[in-house]
């Protein structure tokens, strides 16, 4: 508990990621992983194997992108770093342990960004005046990526934005449209 509180207080984090719970989730992910390490092991091994298989036949060099790098639990960073000239890790925030892991390699870059670009727009909207923002994903200048993986990110993308909509725009018809399928599946 103390460890989690310290991590929450000391992790560098953009204001919006803190405000909308991404930092809390990141800290909770670390705590769950420490508690359930043995149970998660097959899943983690499977993720590492998936990435190893995916890059096996690629020529060495070029750039790799990991979207949703999180705490690097599911990401075999040494393997990627050994294989590519540059590895870009993208997440809403990067913990100190990830920063340290990246620093060990000279060519692992951390990009702090919302891959949907939707959160800032949602946050700016006054309560009750929901109009769904056009997605504005971050610009990733430079050479094309030779390899890109979304590391268990896709399923997470709607969670926090839907939570913002639920809290700030509950009464809007658009919010009803988004909530409808979730509510009906919950009965
Ligand atoms: C299930 S966790 C992935 C864990 C990670 N692959 C690992 O090995 O530790 C999902 C990750 O997606 C990130 N995430 C969620 N929504 C995001 C967004 N819109 N843009 C960037 N990252 C996002 C979260 O911060 C979290 O780290």
pLDDT of 175 > 70? The answer is no
Cα dihedral 23, 24, 27, 32, rounded to 10, equals -140
Distance CA 69, CA 77 (A): 10
Distance CA 53, CA 30 (A): 26
Q: How far is the CA of 66 from the centre of ligand 1 (A)?
A: 10
Q: Annotate 44-101 with three-state secondary structure.
A: HHHHHHHHHHHHCCCCCCCEEEEECCCCCCCCCHHHHHHHCCEEEEEECCCCHHHHHH
Percentage of residues in the chain having pLDDT higher than 90: 67
Domain ranges of the chain: 2-125+141-154, 157-187
The whole-number pLDDT of residue 183 equals 47
Distance CA 93, CA 26 (A): 8
Best residue among 14, 47, 68 to mutate for probing ligand 1, ranked by most atoms within 8 Å of CB: 68
Mean pLDDT to the nearest integer, 49-73: 97
The whole-number pLDDT of residue 180 equals 58
Decide whether any atom of ligand 1 lies within 6 Å of the 118 Cβ.
no
pLDDT of 126 > 90? The answer is no
Predicted TM-score (pTM) above 0.85: yes
**CA-based R_g, the chain, Å:** 18
Which residue lies with its CA nearest to atom 5 of ligand 1? 70
Q: How far is the CA of 183 from the centre of ligand 1 (A)?
A: 25
Q: How far is the CA of 153 from the centre of ligand 1 (A)?
A: 5
Please give the number of the atom of ligand 1 that sits closest to the Cα of 72.
8
Please give the number of the atom of ligand 1 that sits closest to the Cα of 33.
9
Mean pLDDT to the nearest integer, 88-102: 98
Secondary structure class of 146 (helix, strand, coil) = strand
**Residues linked to residue 153 through DSSP beta bridges, in sequence order:** none
- Tell me the average pLDDT of the chain: 90
The whole-number pLDDT of residue 158 equals 86
The whole-number pLDDT of residue 173 equals 67
The whole-number pLDDT of residue 186 equals 38
Task: Summarize pLDDT for 111-125 with one digit per residue, the tens.
Answer: 999 999 888 888 888
Residues near 62 by Cβ (< 8 Å), separated by ≥ 6? 84, 85, 86, 143, 145, 146, 147
β-strands 86-91, 108-112 pairing: parallel
Q: What is the CATH number of domain 2-125+141-154?
A: 3.40.50
Which residue lies with its CA nearest to atom 14 of ligand 1? 68
Mean pLDDT to the nearest integer, 36-57: 97
Q: How far is the CA of 52 from the centre of ligand 1 (A)?
A: 20
pLDDT band at residue 184 under the 50/70/90 scheme: very low
Q: How far is the CA of 69 from the centre of ligand 1 (A)?
A: 6
| Pairwise pLDDT comparison (124 vs 133), residue with the higher score | 124
| Pairwise pLDDT comparison (168 vs 37), residue with the higher score | 37
How many angstroms separate the Cα of 28 from the Cα of each of 45, 60, 70, 73, 166? Answer: 21, 36, 12, 13, 22
Q: What are phi and psi of 160, to 5 degrees?
A: -70, -45
Q: What are phi and psi of 144, to 5 degrees?
A: -60, 150
Task: Summarize pLDDT for 7-21 with one digit per residue, the tens.
Answer: 999 999 999 999 999
pLDDT band at residue 161 under the 50/70/90 scheme: confident
């Amino acid at each position: 508990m103390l460890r989690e509180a310290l991590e929450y207080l000391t992790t560098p984090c953009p204001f919006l990621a803190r405000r909308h719970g991404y930092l809390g989730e990141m800290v909770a992910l670390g705590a769950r992983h420490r508690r359930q390490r043995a149970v998660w092991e097959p899943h983690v091994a499977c993720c590492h194997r998936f990435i190893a298989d995916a890059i096996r036949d690629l020529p060495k060099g070029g750039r790799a992108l990991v979207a949703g790098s999180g705490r690097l639990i599911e990401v075999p960073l040494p393997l990627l770093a050994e294989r590519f000239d540059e590895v870009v890790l993208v997440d809403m925030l990067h913990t100190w342990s990830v920063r340290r892991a990246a620093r060990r390699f000279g060519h692992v870059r951390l990009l702090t960004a919302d891959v949907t670009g939707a959160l800032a727009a949602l946050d700016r909207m006054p309560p009750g005046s929901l109009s769904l923002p056009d997605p504005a994903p971050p610009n990733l200048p430079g050479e094309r990526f030779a390899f890109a993986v979304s590391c268990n990110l896709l399923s997470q993308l709607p969670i926090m934005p839907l939570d913002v909509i639920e809290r700030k725009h509950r009464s809007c018809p658009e919010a009803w449209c988004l909530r409808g399928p979730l509510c009906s599946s919950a009965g």
